[in-house]
């Protein structure tokens, strides 16, 4: 047997053992290299751009993008009432001086608003305290819209209320797509927390709530 043949077999055994090991890790739930697809966050403007007085900012924090779509629907509805609206992810918002009102929303993870939404309120607390602000929350708990679940989700906002109270609040069911999650997060949400997959957003309820905002803002 030639040395070349021996090296080939050795390489084969090394490759085979590596494949078996990787498969075992995956089956054991330890392989976390799989990444969810990149999320495209919505950033749009609506309404008459020649009338820039008292613009409304609809800012949001989203994990997988569905809360951004809710923010867009709110922005479009406000524009239909005659408002000039910017819809932006909170991470892309700096100066608030151009806005006469703010609508701020977040998805829920681990029983609370996403950290970037809370930090937004903390960072802009002084400015936000001088303009009307409304909160909206998107949460899979409301896929079953019961009074008990609404109380549960409302309690998630207590830490945010301690920073700044809104003039209005909206609570909406969200969307769960396992394909948008990383391996470990999907395992937790699907198997442990047993969050159902599907789109539970009620667009009529979202638009109806948004239509009430101009009177409050």
The verdict on residue 36 lying in a domain is no
Task: Tokens 């909406």: give the residue.
Answer: 172
- Shared domain check, 7 and 62: no
What is the distance between the alpha carbons of residues 52 and 84, in angstroms, rounded to a whole number? 7
Query: What range defines the domain where residue 17 resides?
Result: 1-31
* pTM for this predicted structure: 0.76
* Domain assignment present for 39: no
For the four alpha carbons of 158, 60, 87 and 175, in that order, the dihedral sign comes to: negative
pLDDT tens-digit profile, the chain (217 residues): 444 444 444 543 444 444 333 333 232 333 334 455 567 889 999 987 766 667 999 999 998 788 999 999 999 999 999 999 999 999 999 899 999 999 999 999 889 999 999 999 999 999 999 999 999 999 989 988 899 999 999 999 999 999 999 999 999 998 866 666 666 665 566 555 556 677 889 999 999 999 999 998 8
CA 55 to chain centre: 23
In a domain, 188, yes or no: yes
Q: What is the CATH number of the domain that holds 158?
A: 3.40.50.360
3-state helix, strand, coil in the chain (%, to 5): 45, 20, 35
Q: Could you give the CA distance from residue 153 to residue 139 in angstroms, rounded to a whole number? A: 7
- Say how far apart CA 177 and CA 181 lie, in whole Å: 7
């Amino acid at each position: 047997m030639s040395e070349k043949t021996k090296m080939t077999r050795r390489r084969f055994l090394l490759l085979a053992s590596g494949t078996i090991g990787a498969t075992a890790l995956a089956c054991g739930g330890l392989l976390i290299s799989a990444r969810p697809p990149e999320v495209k966050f919505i950033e749009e403007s609506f309404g008459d751009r020649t009338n820039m007085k008292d613009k409304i900012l609809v800012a949001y924090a989203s994990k997988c993008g569905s809360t951004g779509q809710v923010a867009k629907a709110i922005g479009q509805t406000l524009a239909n009432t005659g408002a000039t609206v910017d819809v932006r992810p909170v991470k892309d918002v700096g100066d608030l001086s151009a806005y006469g009102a703010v609508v701020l929303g977040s998805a829920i993870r681990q029983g609370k608003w996403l950290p970037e939404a809370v930090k937004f309120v903390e960072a802009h607390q002084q400015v936000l305290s001088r303009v009307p602000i409304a909160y909206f929350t998107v949460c899979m708990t409301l896929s079953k819209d019961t009074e008990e679940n609404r109380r549960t989700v409302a309690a998630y906002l207590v830490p945010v209320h301690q920073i700044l109270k809104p003039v209005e609040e909206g609570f909406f069911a969200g969307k769960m797509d396992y394909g948008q999650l990383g391996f470990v997060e999907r395992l937790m949400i699907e198997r442990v927390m047993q969050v159902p997959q599907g789109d539970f957003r009620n667009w009529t309820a979202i638009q109806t709530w948004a239509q009430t905002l101009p009177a409050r803002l």
